[in-house]
Chains A and B, each alone.
Chain A
Amino acid sequence: MEPDIHKFPYYPGCTLKTTARNFEVSALACAKKLGIELVELPRWNCCGTVFSLTDDDLIHHVAAVRNLIRVQEMNRDGMVEENRLVTLCSMCFNTLKRVNLLVKENPENLEKINNFMYLEDDYEGNVEVIHFLELLRELDPGAISQRVERPLTGLRVAPYYGCLMLRPREVGIDDPEEPTIQGAILAAVGAEVIYNSYMKVCCGSYQTVNDKSAVARLVYDILSHAQADGAQAIVTSCPLCAYNLDSRQKEVREIYPDFEQIPVFYFTQLMAVAFGFGADLCGFDPNQLVPEHLLK
């Protein structure tokens, strides 16, 4: 039986349309299977990518607020009846949620930002920013496992959380030291979940632009610990973590010649495999390393 569809406003962000296209494709398909329609914000713009951390810098919060105004417009125009804005990218999630909290707690700052964009509707502070993983956590127990057609039995997967869906505490969606939210989904699709303490250690983030070798050393620590614990694959929900953990394996091998490659997926790609979707909806990159038994 197909579930009733509930529509949510959805913010993709820049990278979901390019290097992380496979994340979006697999996520939208999995959401639909679970009765969730992610409706893309009209005229969305870059969220700013990182939350400005200095107290005297308001201008960099404008981009995020503008997107929150679009959510209000979608509700006003009847496109959705839902104030919760769903994100997939952990960086977008963190930036949008932090800006939202900041302007809700500081009416004076919100007024300045609203005045700055005075021809836009005022942002009224009634949007809530959530991560897609939170929606999945809210589903009835068994909602995911009931729809599994090809359980990932025997596949040992380490969930990697990184930073921005966990920290800082006021925006984190799970315990910052012992997160389980991705692991629960992997377990629901039949995989064996490999927990290890490196699942929340920073991958080096944007330092990848400036200092590849520092990032490669961090990536080595993260991946080699997961491998030592028996992981055959890693999953994540951040396109920048995915890039560093996957593409920087080349640099890792230059520093540590004994390092063996390990595939990195978005959690939605493994859900898509388990739901029995075709290769197009699983979004496997032609160059991506995929374990043989996943393709069977």
Chain B
Amino acid sequence: MANRLMISTGNEEFLERISEMSGQIITLCEQCGVCSGSCPMVSEMDITPSQMMRMVQLGQSEVLRAKTIWLCASCFTCTVRCPRGLDLSKVAEALRQVILRQAVDHIDIKALPRDELVELPQIALVAGMRKFTG
């Protein structure tokens, strides 16, 4: 994932689509970084939540290849702290949905070990399938 910020022309459509799906005015993000500082998953991520927002603002659809969008666990910590009132968990969900709606799953349930499947509570499996499969 490139760290350089490039303004992509002709990609306004991507920003518009993600804004519509998430219901968020993504251009309101002023890159203060409170989300990234609050995110419990940030140390596992390849780009921070604020970088994710910036890439969407700039119409950089490469954000769809970021691990970050799948690592967001919808914990809503950034949501309650964003000074601009943005819900980043909705933006991450919109990005995941762009992939999943092409009928491309992020995980293969069949590949999970049998003992895990037996042991995991249903809410883990159902939530996992809701978030990682289309």
Contacts and interface: CB of A to CB of B under 8 A. Distances in A.
Contact of B75 (A13, A89, A205, A214): A205
A202 B121 contact: no
Contact of A209 (B44, B80, B128): B128
A168 B120 contact: no
Interface string B82-123: 000001011001100100000000110000100010011111
B111 to A, nearest CB: 10
Interface of B: 20-23, 40-41, 43-44, 70-71, 73-77, 79-80, 87, 89-90, 93-94, 97, 106-107, 112, 116, 119-128, 130-132
A255 to B, nearest CB: 13
A247 B93 CA distance: 28
Nearest to B109: A209
A225 interface: no
Interface of A: 13-15, 18-20, 46, 48-50, 52-57, 60, 89, 91, 163, 166-169, 172, 176-177, 200-202, 204-211, 214, 217-218, 239-240, 243, 247
Given A55-B20, A239-B121, A243-B124, A207 B71 contact: yes
B124 A202 contact: no
B87 A14 contact: no
Q: Is the interface of B mostly helix, strand, loop or mixed?
A: helix
Q: Interface majority SS on A: helix, strand, loop or mixed? A: loop
B130 A243 contact: no
A167 B132 CA distance: 22
Nearest to A57: B97
Nearest to A89: B123
B131 A50 contact: yes
A214 B89 CA distance: 18
Given A202-B41, A210-B107, A49 B130 contact: yes
